[in-house]
Amino acid sequence: KDSRDDELLDLLRKQHGEKTEPEGVNRVLLVQTRLGKAQVQTVMEKNNTEHKEEVLLWMHCCRSLFGGSAVSLRFIAPLDERMRASLVSTGADTDLTNILLSKVPTISRASAQDFVTAFLAAVKALHQSKDLVSAVASAGRGPINMMVQAALLTRDSGVGIDFPDFVSSATGLHRAYDGPPALRIAAWCCHLRASAKAVAAAPTHNELDSMALPQSVFDSMLVDQYGFPLQLRDPPDMSFLRKGRAFSWNGDYTRIHDIIDAVKRGHSVDWMDVHRRCWSLKLSPVLDGGALVKLLSVCNSPGSVLAALTKENLCTLLKKSTPEDTLAIAGAVLNHQIGKNTIQDDGMYSPWSLALWMLIVHEETIRPEQLIERMGGEKEATVALVWASKNMSDWRTVYGKIDPQQRGVLVWRILLRLSTWLMKQKRFSELPSLWQNIFAPLLRVAGPTDVAGQEDDVRLSDVALCVVIEAEDCNSNWDSPVQSMWAVLHRKATPTQLSELWQTGQPLFYAMDDGSGRLHPKVCAGVLSMPRGSSLPMDLKLALLQTGSDVRLEDLDDVTGKTSVALLSDAIQQIEQQEDKSFNIPDGAWCALVHDAAKQFE
């Protein structure tokens, strides 16, 4: 609402004898950002406005394209006068152009003229009871003409977002200013079409079909600026979708607070020029994380600002800023996907991966599922955590108000969730890299205490077994039972080591269990490949023979299976000679070997 509209409303109340608020009385003010149709109609009734439909049409289209600041209740009378004059003389288009430019001085005269031409075409169709959209489409071409057509689709319903709000608000076009202005206009037209079709008072299919082809949006050269783009009469450069024109502030790039002030005043900044002439130079990096956060909060394209920083500079700011500023920068990096596609090439300076790690370090209430969602999914989070395991050794201990043990539990849960996902996806070969370096000590038989009771030790055992099956080398920082299981699976364990593992890490033997109590086939093969004459725990031998565990001869060192049967001879004898015990072995070559060995004890 115009700043002087309240004066007009008070004047109208006095003229019509309505009660007004006495001076000095406190009252609640209603802050309005959009003039409603009912309010405009009320003022027109009290002003005895003659051309009500034309004024409403102007108000709707003008507000839709240029925002609430482009319309005012005080302009109802001048508009009505111009419409009355247009019936008896020429020159109404010039007067209307001047009215529009007086309210929106930042648009070009070309844009104002195109708007007035489209508006007058719609007025003529209104008088003749014809299709307004079709009439405007026939009256000209260009981005303004197309925008007026789109605005007319919502004339009755009033749905949709005005263009200025569409390109700047959280409910509009995401990262609008990262693209050229013509694409923003085209996206807004699509938004209004979709909004118009979604409501009960939707336009007919004829109105939707009457819109001109969208190519006309790209007919004019548009110079990007804060707010509505500046339209030129020049023909468009065919490369403008890739590289366009913009008004740019050209102050001292080394003074980030000057840049912030310029952006606040509505200046555009050539961020690639800032990168080339200042921020990419080692002598002129950005050192103030708080200033960067402030700049990101006031600019139209935070992604362009972050892209103008070198990855080394951005990573330094993420590490050395205050926790609050670090979280703000990290959130912007993730939202704008800075460095997401170059993690493998960025080495130790990966803004994308470091931003995730900073959330883990500083965010107090974040949960594993929220963190994975912020990263874009399990695949992206896995890549980032592998990077962190290699490059964040200096950030293992967290100082401050967050308990380091609490952070350790969070990391463990994230790793466990990602490992479970990899196992479900049958991507077992990627598991070892997730549990190396600084994350290696977290790979255990039993995990940290889970207060919520949502995790259990068996799941971690599943993960640990899969890791040691796939790992080529044993990590000395793994939990001792996990190291022993790796030795068993890779034929490097001693009988004593195996016996101790059976006592302390038994969940590893039964990992990935479906509830039947069977030992894992790889574990069976590792145990039965122990050297001839090795002494194995009797209950382990019985488990191999009575739990339905699958032994595959091709996995044994002795593929004939005779050495393995010899290791179990005393257990086979015990089962065979006791009536209350029996073998539980899947049919196959191994089962046949065991039963043949049992015959000698009958």
Cα separation, 259 vs 202, in Å, equals 45
Last residue of a domain, one of 325, 358, 391: 358
Strand partners, 246: 224
pLDDT value for 453: 42
Residue 238 located in a structural domain: no
Average pLDDT over residues 275-285: 88
Same domain, 481 and 567: no
CA–CA distances in Å: residue 358 to residues 218, 286, 353, 387, 534: 42, 19, 9, 13, 50
User: Encoding tokens for residue 270?
Assistant: 């050539």
Distance of CA 409 to the CA centre of its chain: 25
The residue written with tokens 């001109």 in the block is 212
- pLDDT tens, 143-178? 999 999 999 999 888 888 999 999 886 677 887 877
> Which band of pLDDT confidence, cut at 50, 70 and 90, is reported for residue 353?
very high
**Separation CA 243–CA 221 (nearest Å):** 12
The 10 Å CB-count burial string (b at 16+, else e) for 395-424 is eeebeeeeeeeebbbbbbbbbbbbbbbbbe
Query: Is the entire prediction scored with pTM above 0.85?
Result: no
Domain membership flag for residue 319: yes
Compute CA 552 distance to the chain's CA centroid, rounded to the nearest angstrom: 47
200 and 177 share one domain: yes
pLDDT band of residue 180 (cuts 50, 70, 90) is confident
Q: Are 183 and 276 part of one and the same domain? A: no
Domain co-membership, 306 together with 440 = no
Structural domains of the chain, count: 4
Alpha-carbon distance 61 to 50, whole Å?
Answer: 19
With CA atoms as reference, report the closest residue to 185 among 158, 136, 151, 208: 151
Which pLDDT score is estimated for 9?
A: 55
> What is each CA distance from 20 to 25, 46, 110, 228, 434, in whole angstroms?
11, 16, 43, 38, 71
Q: Which of 15-24, 348-357, 486-495, 559-568 bottoms out in mean pLDDT, i.e. has the lowest?
A: 15-24
- Considering the domain architecture, whether residues 160 and 11 belong to the same structural domain is answered as yes
Res 80: pLDDT: 83
Query: What's the Rg (C-alpha) of the chain?
Result: 37
Indicate if 74 and 107 belong to the same structural domain: yes
> What are the distances in angstroms from CA 306 to CA 62, 172, 280, 309?
35, 21, 12, 5
Q: What is the pLDDT of residue 82?
A: 84
Residue 268 lies in a domain: yes
Residue 92 lies in a domain: yes
pLDDT of residue 157: 84
Tell the residue number behind the tokens 């014809």, with chain if given.
Answer: 130
CA 505 to chain centre: 41
Domain membership of residue 507 (yes or no) is: no
Q: What pLDDT digit, counting tens, does each position of 537-559 carry?
A: 999 999 999 988 999 999 999 99
pLDDT: is 404 or 380 the higher one? 380
Pairing of strands 222-224, 245-246: parallel
In a domain? residue 242? no
DSSP annotation of 30 = -
**C-alpha 388: how far from its chain's center?**
20
Of 358, 383, 404, which closes a domain? 358
Calpha distance 325→362 (Å, rounded):
10
522-541 per-position pLDDT tens digit: 999 999 999 988 999 999 99
Say how far apart CA 222 and CA 228 lie, in whole Å: 10
Q: Which among 48-52, 72-76, 87-91, 574-578 has the top mean pLDDT?
A: 574-578
Tokens of 556: 């044994």
SS percent in the chain: helix, strand, coil, step 5: 60, 0, 40
Is 116 in contact with 107 (CB distance < 8 Å)? no
Position 472 scores a pLDDT of 94
Long-range contacts of residues 45-50, Cβ cutoff 8 Å, at least 24 apart: 46/12, 46/15, 46/16, 47/12, 47/76, 47/77, 47/80, 49/76, 49/77, 49/80, 50/80, 50/83, 50/84
Residue 52: both structure tokens together: 């009500």
Determine phi and psi for 245, rounding to 5 degrees. Answer: -100, 155
Query: What are the pLDDT digits (tens) for 225-250?
Result: 877 898 988 776 656 555 667 777 88
Q: Across-strand partners of 300?
A: none
Tell which of 436, 462, 497 closes a domain: 497
Same domain, residue pair 370 and 348: no
Rounded average pLDDT over 433-459: 70
| Residue at 237 is within a domain | no
The count of residues in the chain is 602
The whole-number pLDDT of residue 6 equals 56
Give the least confident one: 10-19, 49-58, 322-331. 10-19
**What confidence score (pLDDT) does residue 315 get?**
94
Q: Identify which has the larger pLDDT, 506 or 32.
A: 506
Taking residues 401-414, what's their average pLDDT?
Answer: 81
Predicted pLDDT of residue 473: 95
**Whether residue 369 is found in the same domain as residue 458:** yes
* 411 and 553 share one domain: no
Q: Let me know whether 520 and 388 are in one domain.
A: no
What pLDDT, on a 0 to 100 scale, did the predictor assign at position 87?
A: 65
Q: Which domain holds residue 483?
A: 364-497
Top pLDDT among 393 and 324 is at: 324
Q: What would the DSSP string read from start to end of 182-242? A: HHHHHHHHHHHHHHHHHSTTPPPHHHHHHSPPGGGGGSS-EEE-SSSPEE-SSPPPTTTTT
Alpha helices in 425-517 (DSSP H): 431-434, 457-470, 480-489, 495-504, 506-509
Residue 505 lies in a domain: no
Q: Is the pLDDT of residue 12 over 60?
A: no
Q: Report the distance separating Cα 66 and Cα 576, nearest Å.
A: 91
Return all residues near 561 (Cβ < 8 A) that are at least 6 apart. 551, 553, 589, 590, 593
Q: Do 483 and 596 belong to one domain?
A: no
Do residues 371 and 325 share a domain? no
Which one-letter amino acid corresponds to residue 172? G
Give me the chain's average pLDDT, please.
84
13-26 pLDDT tens trace: 565 555 555 444 44
